[in-house]
Structure 1
Amino acid sequence: MPWYEESFGEDYLLVYRHRNRAAADREVQWAAERLHLNQEDQVLDLCCGTGRHSIALDELGFNVTGIDLSPVLLKHAKASSQGRNIRYIRGDMRRLPFEEDCFDAVFNLFTSFGYFIEDAENQQVLREIRRVLRPDGRFIIDYLNRTAVEKNLVPKSEREESGTRILEKRWIDGDYVRKEITLTDADGRRHYQERVKMYTREQMVTMMEQAGLMVEDVYGDFEGHPYNAENSPRMIFVGSVSA
């Protein structure tokens, strides 16, 4: 089973409990301003997870669709979104279950890109983003900065959450950043893997151009600082459909 089909379950919610709604609200507010969106635009939250960003988008007045492969995360997203007009769908980002030209914007946040070993499969994700965007559509992809990952990587960390011991080991494996997560509690010991391919800015721009997407700006964080390869914590691409 691929790591991304195994890792995004109930234990994922425990490991990433520190990711909160307040941060999602700030990130979405900033991103929506950069994309110059209008209220009631059709917005896709690609790899929506538990719906943190989908809810923030809904609060800004957009028509939101969240899609994710994990039934566990989608269940939590739906529970968190009761009373809201958010549509959640289970699907693979390489084969989006939507017609062409149906969204005004696509948000892909929290390093939800580079999951696949083959470059062609990661490229296919970008092609799908282009396919579902309208001719005047916009996109934002929030991705890691390889240099920052290599500089700041913490090889090992341990902590406890709700009686569960969480051990995380991280390492660089060629073009990939990898993580092994071990959880230990009264139910026993469980192991998970994460693996994300680290593309450079130039590689990402080339891949997007080949997919029919035009990069207009690259930011280094959600405060709007320009991307700098040496010290930016993130690599946030903002753009539109190519003419």
Structure 2
Amino acid sequence: MSEWYETSFGEDYLIVYRHRDFCGARHEVERMIQWLDLPQGARVLDLCCGMGRHSLALSQAGYEVTGVDLSEVLLREARAQEGADKVTWIRSDMRELPLDGGFDAVVNLFTSFGYFEEDEEQVKVLKEVFRMLKPGGRFIIDFLNPAYVTEHLVPHSVREDGDTLIDESRRIEHGYVKKEIRLTSKQAGGPPRKYQERVKLYTLEDFRSLISAAGLKLEAVHGSYDESSYDAENSRRMIFTGVRP
């Protein structure tokens, strides 16, 4: 039986998340550049790059970028964008990368973490971040804030995208935030296409332990890309920055 992340990042994902824009990615990358403090031409790995929004913005900012993702559909979209030829695109599981490392920075953005059931599997990801970085290399991991998600969770929403009806149900269950997505074609009819997304809810202290277990050093936690300091109750995100010692 396939894991949810092996089936959910396909053609329908492009419909569900069409609203994610490249302009927003440029704003976020501008902030990341300040946090990373990297010289022009530095090597950056975008781990779980998706459709390549941040990889392309990092490349345009003057970095040598490699984008890695498990989804061939999302990588196809990334390769179709303007400027994509300047980025190296690789299909791989984030727990076992076909790369030798030597990167100045690794970024893992918009909750592309916590996909696995066992903590040991998440640590494998972080150990790969360690292995990819040169000594003194820096990382950013952008994760959701569990307390904020729990407090502001929208249990159910319905919207339309052209001919497609998108029905999304969300719940907190057994330490995970789970989303069920149903897509129905209004014209063609037929049964809905169903997908699940599941992310393990790690607290700040949990993350400290995971990052330490991988040999990385956590330096700061931000609550957003607008430089707000992290607040356990009110911040939308937990954005971790740190270094390989």
Question: Do both proteins adopt the same fold according to a TM-score greater than 0.5, normalized to the shorter chain?
Answer: yes
**Structure 2 counterpart of 1:162:** 162
- Which of 215, 220, 225 lines up with 1:222 in the alignment? 225
Q: Which residue of 2 aligns with 1:208?
A: 211
Q: Residue 8 of structure 1 corresponds to which residue in structure 2?
A: 9
**Structure 1 match to 2:41:** 40
1:116 paired residue number: 116
- Map of 1:235 onto structure 2: 238
Query: Equivalents in 2 of 1:148, 1:172: separation in Å?
Result: 12
Classify the secondary structure of the residue corresponding to 2:207: helix
Q: 1:99 to 1:187 in 2, by over 3 A?
A: farther
Correspondence 1:52-91 to 2 at 5 A: 52-82=53-83, 84-91=85-92
Taking structure 2 as the reference length, the TM-score comes to 0.96
Which residue of the partner structure matches residue 140 of structure 2? 140
1:155-194 to 2 correspondence within 5 Å? 155-185=155-185, 186=188, 188=190, 189-194=192-197
SS in 2 for 1:88: strand
The Cα offsets for residues 70-106 of structure 1, whole Å up to 9 and x where unpaired, read as 0000001001145641000000100011114x10000
The CA distance in 1 between the partners of 2:169 and 2:156, in whole Å, is: 5
Give the letter aligned to residue 198 of structure 2: R
Shift of 1:212: 1.1
Deviations 1:32-56 (A, max 9, x none): 1111011100000000000000010
RMSD value over aligned CA atoms? 1.0
> Which residue pairs with 2:130 in the alignment?
130
| Alignment CA distance shift 1:187-1:130 (3 Å) | farther
Of stretches 178-187 and 87-96 in structure 1, the one that deviates more from structure 2 is 178-187
Moved segments of 4+, more than 4 Å: none
Partners of 1:65 and 1:87 within 8 A in 2? yes
What is the alpha-carbon distance in structure 2 between the residues aligned to residue 107 and residue 213 of structure 1? 14
CA distance in 1, matches of 2:98, 2:125: 13
Unaligned runs of 5+ in 1: none
Q: Is the 8 A contact 2:56 2:83 kept in 1?
A: no
Contact 2:79 2:85 in 1 (8 A): no
Distance 1:151 1:118 in 2: 25
1:148 alignment partner AA: Y
Give SS of 1:112's match.
coil
- Which sections of structure 2, spanning at least 5 residues, go unmatched? none
Query: Does structure 1 retain, via aligned residues, the 8 Å contact 2:56–2:84?
Result: no
State the AA in 2 paired with 1:168.
Answer: E
Q: How far 1:210 sits from its partner (Å)?
A: 1.3
Match in the other structure for 1:92: 93
Percent identity, please.
54
